[in-house]
Amino acid sequence: MNFEKQMKKCLKLALKAEGKTSPNPMVGCVVLDENGNEISTGYHKKCGEKHAEADALSKIETGHTLIVNLEPCSHFGKTPPCADLIIKKGIKRVVIAMRDVNPIVAGNGIKKLKNAGVEVIENVLEKEAKDLNEVFIKNMKENKPFVAIKCATTLDGKISTSTGDSKWITSEKSRHEVQKIRNKYDAILTTSATVIADNPSMNCRLKNSKNLIKIVVDRTLKTDINAKIYSNPKEKVYIAVDENLPMKNVFPPHIEIIKCKTKNNKIDIEDLLTKLYSKGVMSILVESGGTFNGEIIGKNFADKIYQFIAPKILCDNDGKSAYAGQKQLYIKNAFNYKIKSVKSFSPDILITLCKGL
């Protein structure tokens, strides 16, 4: 038995809570009896609630093999250690997809299980498990938010015409998919230029979707406070401004100013990301124009790109490009990304890319 089938089920269970577990990872669990029959399942539904192992084990007295996509925790956090519970419930074998990258756990859960005589099998569907929890891994390893760019372009890479017209480049189907992508992230980030040009709401209109945090990069506070992006008092908005900007404005309680360092009249993105992380923003979807996207790419902040491409061609040198301001004279100096998937949202396609060659 290689447990891949059951691990696939764990990943599927974990995904049920996508967008809801932050700052925690997504975890699913399956328990088998000594004959290999499934006797319980569970998943981590939300930060502060039961871990996947505790959820699955709460439904049974005992079991033989426990399969879980992340190493069971060994420490007291918001809930007691899962490794202790697994031992207490008399589990004989634990199958894990990946070790926990949280330095408090990092192998200690496995050690605890092995010391208690539990057999531990590691690395089952490890790559898939790491993909699933890419945000958590980035947070734990770098203490920084995971950053993704979403853009919608023509076939010639434009996000608007030279007159600024940008509605709509992609189809309704694609735009519905954007709603689903937004729901995976803690926050949406955009810029003063995009708020002024498009007055977007940048919310998630799916049934039961969460209230997203909004971040507006607006160095000199030139956006209109009546813009749609500021209109929902249930949605927290951070406005990133120059730390030296004299502030006399009074904002409603859901709007908070983050004072950032600036360099050459631009917000220092590193400083902004550090400040957002300290406020609990673990993942950010950037939906801005080419100037800001270019900065994110040029400074290597983009962990992922979702690019919707419509089969439309503008043939216009002056139309705005999806990525700008970081001109490279040689192909060898281009910023390289790896294609992870290509999906059809007819008539458009969505290319999802991650860092690397």
Ligand X SMILES: NC(=O)c1ccc[n+]([C@@H]2O[C@H](COP(=O)([O-])OP(=O)(O)OC[C@H]3O[C@@H](n4cnc5c(N)ncnc54)[C@H](OP(=O)(O)O)[C@@H]3O)[C@@H](O)[C@H]2O)c1
- Can residue 98 be called a binding residue for ligand X (CB under 6 A)? no
- Can residue 203 be called a binding residue for ligand X (CB under 6 A)? no
The single residue among 48, 80, 164, 280 that binds ligand X, judged by CB under 6 A, is 164
Piece in contact with ligand X (CB under 6 A), picked from 78-86, 231-239, 262-270, 344-352: 262-270
CB of 193 to ligand X, least distance (A): 3
CB of 309 to ligand X, least distance (A): 11
Q: Could you tell me which residues are beta bridge partners of residue 92?
A: none
d(CA 255, CA 191): 15
**Which residues touch 152 (CB under 8 Å, ≥6 apart)?**
159, 168, 169, 170, 174, 178, 307, 308, 310, 348
Question: For the chain, where are the E strands, in sequence order?
Answer: 28-32, 38-43, 65-70, 93-98, 119-121, 146-153, 158-160, 187-191, 213-217, 237-242, 255-260, 262-263, 266-267, 283-286, 304-309, 320-321, 337-345, 348-355
- Can residue 269 be called a binding residue for ligand X (CB under 6 A)? yes
d(CA 62, CA 58): 9
- Can residue 66 be called a binding residue for ligand X (CB under 6 A)? no
CB of 220 to ligand X, least distance (A): 5
- Can residue 290 be called a binding residue for ligand X (CB under 6 A)? yes
- Can residue 194 be called a binding residue for ligand X (CB under 6 A)? yes
- Can residue 177 be called a binding residue for ligand X (CB under 6 A)? no
CB of 22 to ligand X, least distance (A): 24
d(CA 240, CA 3): 47
Kindly name the residue from 53, 177, 235, 287 that is annotated as catalytic: 53
Strand 304-309 relative to strand 255-260, pairing: unpaired
The single residue among 295, 301, 309, 345 that binds ligand X, judged by CB under 6 A, is 295
CB 119 within 8 A of CB 3: no
d(CA 102, CA 51): 15
Task: At 70, list the tokens.
Answer: 């992340």
- Can residue 198 be called a binding residue for ligand X (CB under 6 A)? yes
Q: Which of 56, 178 has the CB closer to ligand X?
A: 178
Q: Could you tell me which residues are beta bridge partners of residue 256?
A: 238
d(CA 98, CA 106): 10
Q: Which of 19, 289 has the CB closer to ligand X?
A: 289
- Can residue 215 be called a binding residue for ligand X (CB under 6 A)? no
Is 265 strand, coil or helix? coil
The single residue among 65, 139, 160, 174 that binds ligand X, judged by CB under 6 A, is 160
- Can residue 44 be called a binding residue for ligand X (CB under 6 A)? no
d(CA 260, CA 242): 5
- Can residue 232 be called a binding residue for ligand X (CB under 6 A)? no
The single residue among 53, 55, 186, 218 that binds ligand X, judged by CB under 6 A, is 218
Please state the length of the chain. Answer: 357
**Which residues touch 109 (CB under 8 Å, ≥6 apart)?**
71, 72, 73, 74, 81, 82, 83, 100
- Type and span of the H or E element at 52: helix 52-57
The single residue among 320, 323, 350, 353 that binds ligand X, judged by CB under 6 A, is 320
CB of 252 to ligand X, least distance (A): 21
The single residue among 219, 301, 337, 352 that binds ligand X, judged by CB under 6 A, is 219
How many residues in the shown chain lie near ligand X by CB under 6 A?
A: 30
CB of 104 to ligand X, least distance (A): 34
CB of 269 to ligand X, least distance (A): 5
Piece in contact with ligand X (CB under 6 A), picked from 98-106, 202-210, 227-235, 283-291: 283-291
d(CA 56, CA 33): 13
119 in active site: no
**Active site residue ranges:** 53
Residues that bind ligand X (CB under 6 A): 151-152, 159-160, 164, 166, 169, 191-194, 197-198, 217-220, 222, 266-267, 269, 287-292, 295, 320, 324
